[in-house]
């Protein structure tokens, strides 16, 4: 008898989600930066918890990232082929063109 083979875990994958709107005041002031968020993705692919890991240095950019990513959908992570809650880090870049 052979031992059961366990499938390797897979991490959540971001689906096609909207990018955060660039805050108008940040645009006028020339503010740019990257926000790094920690996101807990539940077994259904929705965001269940969200926190700021690293600020852009601008509160309005951080807030825009948090508010938008809270509504994102993911393909959930899996352990042993079963969807599970899992934390991932998500970068959100604000760049003026």
Given a cut of 70, whether residue 3 has pLDDT beyond it is: no
Q: Is the pLDDT of residue 1 over 70?
A: no
Q: 39: closest CA among 9, 8, 14?
A: 14
With respect to residue 3, please indicate whether it lies within any of the assigned structural domains: no
Whether residue 72 is contained in a domain is answered as yes
Q: What is the pLDDT of residues 24-76, one digit of tens each?
A: 999 999 999 999 999 999 999 999 999 999 999 999 999 999 999 999 999 99
Do 50 and 38 contact (CB within 8 A), yes or no? Answer: yes
Residue 13 domain-assigned (yes or no) = no
In a domain, 83, yes or no: yes
State how many domains the chain has.
1
Tell me if 71 is assigned to some domain.
yes
Instruction: Output the pLDDT for position 4.
Output: 61
Are 62 and 31 in contact by the 8 Å Cβ rule? The answer is no
For residue 9, being part of any structural domain is answered with no
- pLDDT-based confidence at 6, cuts 50/70/90? confident
Whether residue 39 lies inside any domain: the answer is: yes
- Please report, for the domain that includes residue 76, its CATH number: 3.30.1150.10
- 44 is in which domain, residue-wise? 22-94
């Amino acid at each position: 008898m052979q031992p059961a083979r366990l499938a390797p875990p897979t991490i959540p994958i971001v689906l096609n989600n909207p990018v955060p709107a660039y805050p108008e005041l940040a645009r006028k002031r020339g503010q740019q930066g990257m926000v790094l968020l920690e996101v807990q993705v539940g077994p259904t692919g929705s965001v269940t918890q969200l926190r700021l890991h690293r600020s852009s240095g601008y509160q309005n950019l951080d807030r825009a990232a948090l508010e938008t990513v809270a509504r994102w959908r993911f393909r959930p992570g899996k352990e042993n082929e079963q969807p599970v809650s899992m934390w991932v880090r998500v970068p959100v870049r604000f760049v003026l063109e």
